[in-house]
Structure 1
């Protein structure tokens, strides 16, 4: 089994309309949400052998706050292919992970992260967590996927229906002030 902890970047700052999408960092709510999610992950014993992430400013900033709140963890490896990638591209990036890593934190963007989750987790009536992801995978949300594979390389060719969604947590589930339309 291989575990992928999927983290969407936190709420980005749109105050400077002249900035390129890639260069937008986080707003204050995003900083708070990333830290809340880092504390939650640490408290729930989520561990990872590596971090693979988009190099976009909002992801870099999310990981900085997440890691500060989480505690000691690996340094991120930034991969430009993750920036606005489709789910299949994300699976290909994961497939390049070197053994013996058994758990990866993957930090990136919508809609590719949702596409990865929704393709990897079978669509059946017994998965309220999957239904929640399908409804909305908001900023700073975190999902834990366990893939029924023995090696990372197999994800390059066959990741559809191979995962179980173990948990799905949104910042607003931990702090209502981090919910929609909250400041």
Structure 2
């Protein structure tokens, strides 16, 4: 059994208008939301074997905050350039190349591709928009990640920080 957690980066800052998209960092809410969401996964007893992230600053920082809550070495985060502005097909390619020893993987990326990807995972499940720091998770009964795309996926959870 494999579990895939698809996580959109936390809320980013727009305070420096001249900054290019790739280099935008998290704002204060994003820095607060990411550890809270990681803790929710721990509370559900979801143990993550690997963190895979877009190298864009806001996705990278979100992955680092999750890794810290999980007491993982930040040097173990796997950065995949293709996850920045990724299409659903790129997500599938990244998943299919994961090491088969990993049973639960978290992937951190961006809209619009992340929303398009999760909408292709489970029949009769539609997410209009993956909010910042949201988590969409599926389980799939496979032993090799290369079987992921064609395998039947079971919806596990969808969660996001609630704005009050």
Alignment TM-score, normalising by the size of structure 2: 0.91
Residue 108 of structure 1 deviates from its aligned partner by 0.7
Contact between 2:7 and 2:134, CA under 8 Å: does it hold in 1? yes
Deviations 1:101-149 (A, max 9, x none): 11111111112222221111112xxxxxx34xx1331000011111243
Deviation at residue 41 of structure 1 after TM alignment: 1.3
Contact 2:50–2:102 at 8 Å: present in 1 too?
yes
Which residue number in structure 2 is paired with residue 146 of structure 1?
A: 139
Query: Residues of 2 paired with 1:88 and 1:137: CA distance?
Result: 17
Give the root-mean-square deviation of aligned CA atoms.
Answer: 1.6
2:85 matches 1:92: no
Aligned residue number for residue 158 of structure 1: 150
> Kindly tell me: are residues 71 and 102 of structure 1, through their superposed partners in 2, closer, same or farther at Cα, counting changes over 3 Å?
closer
Which structure dedicates a bigger proportion of its chain to helix? Answer: 1
Aligned residues: 162
Q: How many Å separate the matches in 1 of 2:9 and 2:37?
A: 11
Q: Could you say which residue in structure 1 is the equivalent of 2:37?
A: 37
Corresponding residue for residue 22 of structure 2: 22
Moved over 4 A (4+): none
Gaps of 5+ in 1: 124-129, 178-183
1:180 aligns with none
Contact 2:115-2:128 at 8 Å conserved across structures: no
Partner Cα separation in structure 2 for residue 164 and residue 73 of structure 1: 27
Identify which range, 144-153 or 83-92, moves more after superposition.
144-153
Which residue in 1 is equivalent to 2:104?
Answer: 103
- What is the TM-score of this pair, normalised by structure 1? 0.82
- Cα offset for 1:86? 0.8
1:71 deviates by 2.8
Are 1:135 and 2:128 counterparts?
yes
Return 5+ residue gaps in structure 2 as ranges.
none
Query: In structure 2, the residue corresponding to 1:171 is in which secondary structure?
Result: coil
Q: CA deviation at 1:13?
A: 0.4
Q: In structure 2, what is the equivalent of residue 2 of structure 1?
A: 2
1:66 CA drift (Å) = 2.3
